[in-house]
Amino acid sequence: MKNVLIIGSTGQIGSELTMKLRSIYTNGNIVAGYIPGAEPKGELKESGPSALVDITNPQQIADAVEKYQIDTIYNLAALLSAVAEAKPQLAWKIGVGGLFNTLEVAREKRCAVFTPSSIGSFGPETPKDKTPQDTIRNPRTMYGVTKVTGEMLSDYYFRHFGVDTRSVRFPGLISYVTPPGGGTTDYAVDIYYAAAKGEKFLCPIAAGTFMDMMYMPDALRAAIEIMEADPSKFIHRNSFNIASMSFDPEIIYHKIKEYRPDFQMEYQVDPLRQSIAESWPNSLDDTCAREEWGWKPEYDLDAMTRDMLDKLSARFGKQQ
């Protein structure tokens, strides 16, 4: 049995991760933490308990942990990269202050904590291709600053207090359930929505800009498998590079055209997102995750494209 609190359960990852955890740990309390204005709805609301947990409020975290005898916390609260650049103070308060609150509760109540990091923890001085696990992290964005700080803070709590902190650096995540929350890689989700609706896509990222991406089912598996892994082989903890595919807008566009030959794309580059994208790696080396806990992706670009177009076309009634 496992009792899990998901902080930020209604976002792109949380809405799917919560349901997945409920399907696996059927006897436990899998608690959907939310903030006002982002309450769980539909299946997410009906299928299990939920609790008001603003990560900036330590008492709310402690109350939920106490009430549901939580042993594992998935901390998904964050402002994503483009939003964080517009609200850097709030991004720090949630990303670092909120993580500190979570780790303090975890220290007192002996919970394990998963807090995702990101390809955004790297910067322009980082080796761009096959970025190694241990390398320069010099992000230029507030998002990246919160992620690097979060990695170090989580490792500190493990070393000094024995809190079982574990994490992965997610690439851009592609999914069809909940829209992304304002990141630099959102275009790779939006492009499928446009194709499924039969609309032309205006691409905010320039041709030739490569970033690592991953299909949501692989990302959910990574988040669950790392928390289930035998830690005796861990050399790293916060945070593991994981990877499955890397592409630029031209590659994903042409892949979609294989299945939707009429699909059209035009570039309308967004300077903020483009400058963030250019400061991030082209692709990550995930050897350490493979060796230390057996990470292995299942979806490549082709398999993901077929599934995304099938699911979204069914939703928008434009099956081909």
In this chain, which of 78, 163, 205, 211 binds ligand NAD, going by CB under 6 A? 78
Q: Which of residues 216-275 bind ligand NAD (CB under 6 A)?
A: none
The answer to the question of residue 103 lying near ligand NAD (CB under 6 A) is no
How far is the C-alpha of 13 from the C-alpha of 216, rounded, in Å? 8
**92 class by beta-carbon count within 10 Å (0-12 exposed, 13-18 middle, 19+ buried):** middle
Q: Does 204 bind ligand NAD (CB under 6 A)?
A: no
Please report whether residue 101 would count as binding ligand NAD according to CB under 6 A: no
Query: In whole angstroms, how close is the CB of 316 to ligand NAD at the nearest point?
Result: 21
- Give Dmax (Cα) for the chain: 57
Instruction: Please indicate whether residue 187 is annotated as part of the active site.
Output: no
State how far the Cα of 190 lies from the Cα of 222, in Å rounded to an integer. Answer: 23
DSSP state of 308: H
Q: Toward ligand NAD, which CB reaches closer, 15 or 313?
A: 15
Residue 56 binding ligand NAD, by CB under 6 A: yes
**Residue found by looking up tokens 């949630």 in the block:** 94
**Does the protein bind ligand NAD through residue 3 (CB under 6 A)?**
no
Q: Confirm or reject binding of residue 116 to ligand NAD (CB under 6 A).
A: yes
The residue nearest ligand NAD at its CB is 11
Candidates 143, 157, 187, 253; catalytic one: 143
Q: How far apart are CA 162 and CA 112, in angstroms?
A: 10
Output the smallest distance, CB 184 to ligand NAD, in A. Answer: 9
The least CB distance from residue 1 to ligand NAD, in Å, is: 25
Report the run of H or E that residue 248 belongs to, with start and end.
none
Question: Of how many residues is the chain composed?
Answer: 320
Residue 133, both tokens:
């696990």
Q: Which residue, 118 or 279, has its beta carbon nearer to ligand NAD?
A: 118
Told to check if 183 binds ligand NAD by CB under 6 A, we report: yes
Q: Which of 297, 224, 218, 293 is nearest to 6 (CA)?
A: 224
CA 105, 14, 282, 294 dihedral sign is positive
Single out the residue of 122, 170, 215, 295 in contact with ligand NAD (rule: CB under 6 A): 170
Asked if 54 interacts with ligand NAD (CB under 6 A), we say yes
Asked whether position 185 contacts ligand NAD by CB under 6 A, the answer is: yes
**Helix 14-24 vs helix 216-228: angle between axes, to the nearest 10 degrees?**
50
Exposure on the CB side of residue 213, measured as CA atoms within 13 A: 26
CB of 318 to ligand NAD, least distance (A): 25
Residues serving a catalytic function are 143
Interface residues with ligand NAD (CB under 6 A)? 7-8, 10-14, 35, 38, 53-56, 76-78, 80, 94, 116, 118, 170, 172-173, 180-181, 183, 185
